[in-house]
Amino acid sequence: MTVQTEKEFYIETKHYVYVDYTIRARDKEHALEQFENGSYDDINTDYGVYDEQIVKITEENTEQQLTLAGVLC
């Protein structure tokens, strides 16, 4: 069984419009390094990507709430 050590980080940039990147990385620093190297898994924009500035970086929510339905009454 392989343990996954990377998770998704979402980097939002701004030029004249917002551009959203999805990057698989170990942590924020790795995500920024991947972004700066031009390595990303997905991009969502209506315009070309140039002369951009990072506005926000968020980590995917990996916390899961577990319930024991019917066990605790």
What are the pLDDT digits (tens) for 8-65?
A: 999 888 766 667 889 999 999 999 999 999 888 888 876 655 667 788 888 888 666 6
pLDDT of res. 6: 87
Amino acid at position 25, single letter: A
C-alpha torsion angle, residues 19, 20, 24, 28 (rounded to 10): 80
pLDDT of res. 64: 63
Rounded Cα distance, 6 and 14, in Å: 25
Backbone angles phi, psi at 68, to 5 degrees: -115, 80
